[in-house]
Structures are given as C-alpha cells and as structure tokens.
Amino acid sequence: MLLRQLFDSTSSTYSYLLADQGEAVLIDPVKDKLDDYLRLLRELDLKLILAIDTHTHADHITALGELRSATACRSGFGTQSGSQCASFTFTDGQALTFGQRQLIAWHTPGHTDDSYCFLLPAAGNEAAQLFSGDTLLIRGSGRTDFQNGDSRAQWASLQRLLALPGNTVVWPGHDYRGWTRSSIAEEAAHNPRLQVADVEAYVQLMDNLKLPNPKLMDVAVPANRACGQG
Amino acid sequence: MLLRQLFDSTSSTYSYLLADQGEAVLIDPVKDKLDDYLRLLRELDLKLILAIDTHTHADHITALGELRSATACRSGFGTQSGSQCASFTFTDGQALTFGQRQLIAWHTPGHTDDSYCFLLPAAGNEAAQLFSGDTLLIRGSGRTDFQNGDSRAQWASLQRLLALPGNTVVWPGHDYRGWTRSSIAEEAAHNPRLQVADVEAYVQLMDNLKLPNPKLMDVAVPANRACGQG
C-alpha cells in the first residue's frame, strides 16, 4: 500500500494520497494543488477512484470538483454536509474501497456537524492509520465555534477515537508547527485538550479560545459547498 | 523504530527524528525549533544521543550547538566541513549507532563539498531509508553554485545513490511544493535532473540555473560554522 502526505503551506493543510493495486484515494485535496496531484498520479501510474473531504473546510478550497472533472474519480462528502455537487455522500461506518483495502468513515461531529475521520484498519505488520481531519490534531483539536461546531459533540467524538488501539497512527488535517504524525497513545498522554477532567471542562476550554475567523472563511465555505467549483 | 519528519516552514527544511530503544538522533535540526525538539523528546521519553547535519546549511541556522548544550548529545558534521565546534566529525562509510540501529554516512559532495547522505539499511519488512539532504531532492537536486559546490561531483554522488535498491525511501532535506517523501525508483524515473544524457549535460543544466542566493546565506554559513552558536 502506498501512503503519501502532502502539505499546502498556504493553509497548513495536509492532504493524503493512498493507493492499493493501482487504485488511489485523495483525502482533503486542495484546489491550488490540482496540477501537482495530477502529476503525481500520472508518475506513480495510479488511477484516482475517490476524492473525499473530512468536512466542509473554511480555510481552503477543495479540489474535489476539479479532480472529478479531470479524472474518472467519484467525489464524496459526509451526508451531513447536504452536498448537492458530490458524486455521493457517506455516513458513519461506511466502507470506501480502493484496491483490496478499505477506509471506514467515522462520523465525528464537533469541529463541524459534517466532520468525519477515515480509519484504515491494521493489516499484517502495519498498524491502523487514522486520518483525523480537524477532529484530532497533534496536541490539539479543531475549533468548534462556527459552522455548527459543537464542543460537547467533539468531546464525544474524541472519546471514540481514544478507544482505538494506542499504536494507531494519527494523520491530522493540519499542523501549524511542522509536526507530521502522531499516535493515539501519544495524544492520549500529551494532548493538552485531552487532559481536562470531563466534558464540562472541555466545553469551557473550547468556548474560551476566542480565535479569529479563518481569512478565507467567507470565500471557502460557499465555494466548498459547490465542490470548489462555485 | 521511530521515525518522525518535522518541517520548518520558514526555510522549507525537513528535519528527522529517529529513535530505537529509547536512543534518538536528530538530522538537520533547525535552531528556531529547539523548544519543539526538546518537548517532543521529553514527551516520547527519548534520550537524544546524536545531532547531525547533512552539510553546512546556507538557508537556516543549525540547532546542533544548542542541542548539545541542552542535552547530553554529541553533535556531528562531515569531516570536510572542517568543523571546530562539533563533538566529532564523520567520514564516508562511518556507522552512527543509536539503539540497535545504525545510520551509515555517505559522502556525497556536489551541493557543498561537505555534503552527506545518511542511509538506514533495510531491516525485517522495512525498506532502506535514505536521508538525502540537499543532494537528492524530490524531482530535483541541490544547487551547486556556491560553498564549493560542484555539479560534476554531484552527478557522481547521484549515480551512487541511484545504485541503491529502487524501494529505498528518499527523505529529502527540503521540499518547496509540500511533497514529503519519494523513492529511488521514483526519482530514477521522474526526476528531471536525472533524465539528462550524461555528466556533461548535467553540468550544463546546473550551471544555467542562475538562482538567487538564499536570503540567510551571509548569516547562516558563518553561524553554522560555529554550530549555530556564533
């Protein structure tokens, strides 16, 4: 199996290319990077069959629409997005197949109500891999103060992720410090947001972050509701 | 074995943390990131025993000196650097041990005369890993127009790297496009600089790049000759 992490420095977004037996999936692709994705797919001789977003992003514009136009891939958002432009929507527990492998969609609301993680189950000597979107970040979690964000729901989503085996690799949707990966055990022990006493303390912590809105929010959210082609 | 890629967005530098049996190595650490490294080492319960640079950098200041001051690690440069401040210098073929694993230093002059790659030989199911510094970049190679750069020497160094097994993972010293890893087979097939007919064509290509000097060059090179503590 092939796994490539790709970084968009403008929005500090990580995108992921996964492939098995020549069939590829892109998670959270960024529109500005379209040519790079097409080049990499061509050079690695991969057929893109799926392009999926972990949620409706507020900080960058998705490449889902452009990828569907440029390749034969199907594009997918979580069903809670209400997307009208995607090829399909997925729900909690749905398996997304590429080659002989499957990603399992986990509905993990909190950052947004349409937030998902994707779990690639363990296989052979390879630990499970969690593409955690903006739900679980390295030593952080996605803000919950807009787009139907809900810190109480996010706490429940995070508890669900923490029940995964400790060696599960965590591949986040962003990192602003240049860290690239973590694990469930590492986040359970060292993520400051997971050290609070209970859900009430978590809600209080998240409600007091008082972050500025993302620069691109007023542009990105409507554009992403049109699969990046609005 | 643990392997973490870390990114400095200011200089687009990749640093690498490797560890085995609690003993850690940092390759190409960046001075501005010192606190992050110390935090990560503490959280992962690792003892830093080595901090090594692939060459005397011109675009960022090394953390080698500060890491040696803050931990019990030994700091190392290639012997061609003429370093007076490092704990030791390494030469071609030298094994650098951490835990039960070894990095093998490969002298690969061209970008600078003190350029090295570090090879982590294959073990079990794990392919060999090459930390390729600025010698081999993803779809590129390090410029050769200053600091005793030599495009003819670099061609020979690249040929040596290309003789490694095709599945050897390539971890570069930089990437400006957000790509994070490659392999020897992939670079052999798709790196434009490796598609030229012969050494003469390579020298001509490199001599005609006409790149501006790195912004930090006049500061970084003397600072790095003092292990980042000048």
Residues A186-213, mean pLDDT to the nearest whole number: 95
Which one of A5, A36, A190 has the shortest CB-CB distance to B180?
Answer: A5
Q: Confidence band (pLDDT; 50, 70, 90) for B146? A: confident
Q: Is B177 part of the contact surface with chain A (CB cutoff 8 Å)?
A: yes
The predicted structure's pLDDT at residue B20:
98
Closest residue in B to A8 (Cα) is B178
| Number of neighbouring beta carbons within 10 Å of residue A13 | 23
**Burial of A162 (C-beta count, 10 Å sphere; 0-12/13-18/19+):** middle
The overall longest dimension of chain B from CA atoms, in Å, is: 50
> Does A180 contact chain B (CB < 8 Å)?
yes
C-alpha A103 chain-centroid distance = 12
Average pLDDT, chain A: 96
Q: Three-state SS for B174?
A: strand
Question: Is the Cβ pair B178, A7 closer than 8 Å?
Answer: yes
Q: Tens digit of pLDDT for each residue in A141-166?
A: 999 998 899 999 999 999 999 999 99
Residue A230 vs residue A175, higher pLDDT? A175
Banded pLDDT at A208 (limits 50, 70, 90): very high
Nearest residue in chain A measured CA to CA from B176: A9
Report how many domains make up chain A: 1
pLDDT the model gives residue A213: 86
pLDDT band at B179 (very low <50, low <70, confident <90, very high): very high
Residue A45 sits in which domain range?
2-213
pTM reported for the whole predicted model? 0.96
Residue A89 lies in a domain: yes
Q: Does B178 touch chain A if contact means CB atoms closer than 8 Å? A: yes
CA distances from B96 to B21, B89, B112 (A): 15, 11, 21
Q: What does the alpha-carbon distance between residue A119 and residue B141 come to, in Å, rounded to a whole number?
A: 36
| Contact yes or no for B43 and A190 at CB 8 A | yes
What single-letter DSSP state applies at residue B215? T
B170: left (phi over 0), alpha (psi -120 to 50) or beta: beta
- Phi and psi torsions of A93, nearest 5°: 90, -5
Residues of chain A with pLDDT > 70: what percent?
100
So what's the pLDDT on residue A154?
A: 98
**Closest chain B C-alpha to A84 CA, distance in angstroms:** 31
Q: Across residues B102-128, what is the average pLDDT? A: 97
What pLDDT is attached to residue B65? 96
B190 lies in a domain?
Answer: yes
Residues sharing a CB contact under 8 Å with residue A158, sequence separation 6 or more, in sequence order: A108, A110, A135, A136, A141, A193, A194
Mean pLDDT of A176-184: 97
**pLDDT confidence tier of residue B137, bands split at 50, 70 and 90:** very high
Q: Is residue A15 part of a domain?
A: yes
Tell me the torsion sign for CA atoms A27, A151, A170, A92: negative
The pLDDT, as a whole number, for residue A163 is 98
Taking alpha carbons only, the member of B191, B207, B188 closest to residue B199 is B207
| B22: region left, alpha or beta (phi > 0 left; psi from -120 to 50 alpha) | left
Q: Does B141 have pLDDT greater than 80? A: yes
Which of B43, B181, B190 minimises the CB distance to A43? B190
Average pLDDT over residues B73-89: 96
Helix, strand, coil abundance in chain B, percent, nearest 5:
25, 30, 45
Is the CB of residue A45 less than 8 Å away from at least one CB of chain B? no
Q: Token pair of A212, please?
A: 């500025």
Residues for chain B: how many in total? 230
Helix ranges, chain B (H): 34-43, 64-70, 151-162, 184-190, 199-207, 217-225
What would the two tokens of residue A170 be? 């965590």
Please give the structure tokens belonging to residue A175. Answer: 């990192």
Does residue A224 sit within a domain? no
B168 assigned to some structural domain? yes
Residue-level pLDDT at A215: 84
Would the pLDDT of B79 be above 80? yes
Alpha helices in chain A (DSSP H): 34-43, 64-70, 151-162, 184-190, 199-207, 217-225
Are B17 and B40 spatial neighbours (Cβ–Cβ below 8 Å)? yes
Q: Would the pLDDT of B69 be above 80? A: yes
pLDDT at B195 over 80: yes
Of the pLDDT bands very low, low, confident and very high (cuts 50, 70, 90), residue B215 is: confident
pLDDT at position A151 is 97
Residues A83-133 have pLDDT tens digits of: 999 999 999 999 999 999 999 999 999 999 999 999 999 999 899 999 999
Whether A138 contacts A185, CB under 8 Å: no
CATH of the domain at A95: 3.60.15.10
Which of A33, A125, A178 lies nearest to residue B8, judging by beta carbons? A178
| CA angle (B105, B106, B109) in 5-degree steps | 130
Q: Is residue A11 part of a domain?
A: yes
pLDDT for the residue numbered A147: 83
Compute the nearest-CA separation of B149 from chain A (Å). Answer: 29
Q: Do A33 and B5 touch (CB under 8 A)?
A: no
Q: From chain B, pick out residues whose CB is under 8 angstroms from the CB of A36.
A: 177-179
Q: Return the pLDDT at A230.
A: 73
Q: Which residues sit opposite A182 in a β-bridge?
A: A170
Pairwise CB contact (< 8 Å): A180 & B4: yes
Residue A219 inside a domain? The answer is no
Query: Residue B176 pLDDT > 80, yes or no?
Result: yes
In a domain, B36, yes or no: yes
The predicted-structure confidence for B14-65, as pLDDT tens digits, reads as follows 999 999 999 999 999 999 999 999 999 999 999 999 999 999 999 999 999 9
Mean pLDDT of B60-82: 96
Cβ contact A29:A51 at 8 Å: yes
For the cut 80, the answer to whether the pLDDT of residue B230 exceeds it is no
Q: Tell whether the model's pLDDT for residue B5 goes beyond 80.
A: yes
Specify the 3-state DSSP secondary structure of A225.
helix
Interacting residues of B227 by C-beta distance below 8 A, sequence separation 6+: B62, B64, B65, B68, B75, B83, B85, B86
B134: nearest Cα among B54, B66, B72: B54
What pLDDT score does B159 carry?
Answer: 98
